Amino acid sequence: MNALLTLFDLLLTLTLLGLAVVTVTSRELRRAVILFIAFGLLLALVWARLRAPDLALAEAAIGAGLSGALMLAAARRASGRKTSTGEDSDAKDAP
């Protein structure tokens, strides 16, 4: 039981830290944002393991979901400005 739990802890934390590392080192902005959302969701899982289900819910909904949506919109604006040649057919809303 304890050995299994320790293994689970190790697996969760390594994945979490790995996701954090690839988030900050990723070259592409959009990719970084998506990895950040994945990181937030995994963080919610870790907090559920640490007996903080209230926080897990809030982090999954707010930290990963809403922050992620905000940042994705911003990443798209940024990439739209960089390549403003009009190759993105779906970038209709980018100001």
Partner 1 sequence: MIRPLEHIIIPLGLIAVGGLLGWSFFLAVTGEAGERLAAVALARVPDSGVSNPVTSVLLNFRAYDTLLELAVLLAALLGIWSLGAAAPGFQPAASVLDGMVNGFVPLLILSAGYMLWVGAYAPGGAFQAGALLGSAGVMLALAGHRNAGLPSEGRLRLLVALGVFVFAMTGLLLMVVGDGFLTYPPSLAKWLILLIETAATLSIGATLAAAYLGGRPAARPTTGETA
Partner 2 sequence: MTGQVLYSQLFYGGSGIILVLLGLWSFLVHAPLLRKLIAINLMGAGVFHMLVAIAYRGIDTSPDPVPHALVLTGIVVAVSATALALAFGKRLDQDDD
Positions in the binding site for partner 1 (CB under 8 A): 53-54, 56-58, 61-62, 65-66, 69-70, 73, 92-93, 95
Residue type at 56 in one-letter notation: A
76 part of the interface to partner 2, by CB under 8 A: no
Smallest separation, CB 36 to partner 1 (Å):
17
How far, in Å, CA of 85 to CA of 67, rounded? 28
35-69: burial string, b at 16+ Cβ within 10 Å, e else: bbbbbbbbbbebbbeeeeeeebeebbeebbeeebe
Nearest Cα to Cα of residue 67 among 93, 90, 91, 44: 44
Position 83 contacts partner 2 (CB under 8 A): no
Residue ranges that bind partner 2, judged by CB under 8 A: 2, 5, 9, 13, 16-17, 20-21, 23-24, 29, 32-33, 36, 39-40, 43, 46-47, 50-52, 54-55, 58-59, 62-63, 66-67, 70-71, 73-75, 77-78, 81, 95
